[in-house]
């Protein structure tokens, strides 16, 4: 074999080796790591999250959501200004049974979740089955406090740990379960604020609000978010 022909394999190898190294580096870049962080929005509020992929089927996820919202809310014919204040850290286990984006998620939310109520009637109102004037009532204040631990179960789609790319999309739907919320109702500044009969009516009103608040034992959870994988 001539010297020129012997140089051909070396030249081909010299071309292929850098290409192979570049392809491998690109594959590693596309694959990314097992850790990801992201942001989300949904019924629990705005939040941040971190994910750790233990395997293609198992992902640990932690998040912190905040919902701070003022709205008008009517209970038993009385218009309240309601301040919703949910601070919900959570820990979850996401299972990807088919090793793709589809997931089944389970875990729990923790933290303080409450709704503060405030009403100053400008007309006669019915409290506990009896009618009272604004002067007699004064200002009504209340709080609906949800249980601090709420187990969660849901299904969704998350391609954060897909083979290609570092940016992932996640959507999740499910429900958080808790015990009966605790309701407190009080009145101050009225001519009957300390009247025993009025206080008994106020207790009846509180029980009626409790009946409505029991609907908060199950809260729907719908979230969408973006994640970046390291």
DSSP class of residue 146?
-
Residue bearing the bigger pLDDT, 144 or 216: 144
What global pTM score does this model have? 0.80
Which pLDDT does position 20 carry in this prediction?
A: 40
Which pLDDT does position 215 carry in this prediction?
A: 81
Kindly report the CATH number that applies to the domain delimited by 33-229.
2.40.160.170
Beta carbons of 168 and 158 less than 8 angstroms apart: yes
Domain spans of the chain? 1-31, 33-229
List pLDDT tens digits, range 60-80.
999 999 999 999 988 878 999
Which pLDDT does position 92 carry in this prediction?
A: 98
The number of residues in the chain equals 230
Helix residue ranges, H only, 33-180: 134-137
DSSP strand E in 100-166: where? 102-109, 113-119, 125-127, 130-132, 139-145, 150-158
Cα separations in angstroms, 4 against 8, 13, 15: 7, 15, 17
Which pLDDT does position 5 carry in this prediction?
A: 39
Mean pLDDT value of segment 29-43: 84
Which pLDDT does position 29 carry in this prediction?
A: 39
User: What tokens does 195 get?
Assistant: 């009247």
């Amino acid at each position: 074999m001539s010297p020129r022909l012997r140089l051909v394999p070396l030249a081909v190898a010299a071309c292929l080796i850098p290409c192979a190294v570049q392809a491998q580096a690109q594959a590693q870049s596309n694959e990314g790591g097992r850790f990801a962080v992201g942001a989300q929005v949904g019924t629990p509020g705005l939040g941040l999250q971190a994910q750790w992929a233990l395997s293609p089927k198992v992902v640990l996820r932690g998040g912190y959501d905040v919902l701070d919202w003022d709205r008008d809310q009517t209970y038993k014919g009385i218009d309240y200004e309601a301040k919703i204040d949910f601070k919900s850290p959570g820990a979850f286990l996401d299972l990807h049974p088919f090793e793709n984006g589809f997931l089944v998620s389970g875990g729990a939310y923790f933290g303080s979740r409450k709704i503060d109520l405030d009403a100053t009637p400008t007309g006669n109102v019915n409290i506990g089955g009896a009618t009272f004037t604004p002067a007699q009532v004064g200002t009504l204040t209340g709080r609906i406090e949800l249980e601090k631990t709420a187990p969660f179960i849901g299904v969704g789609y998350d391609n954060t740990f897909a083979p290609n790319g570092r940016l992932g999309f996640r959507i999740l739907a499910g429900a958080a379960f808790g015990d009966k919320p605790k309701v407190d109702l009080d009145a101050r500044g009225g001519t009957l604020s300390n009247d025993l009969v009025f206080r008994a009516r106020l207790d009846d009103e509180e029980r009626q609000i409790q009946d409505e608040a029991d609907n908060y034992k199950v809260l729907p959870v719908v979230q969408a978010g973006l994640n970046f994988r390291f």
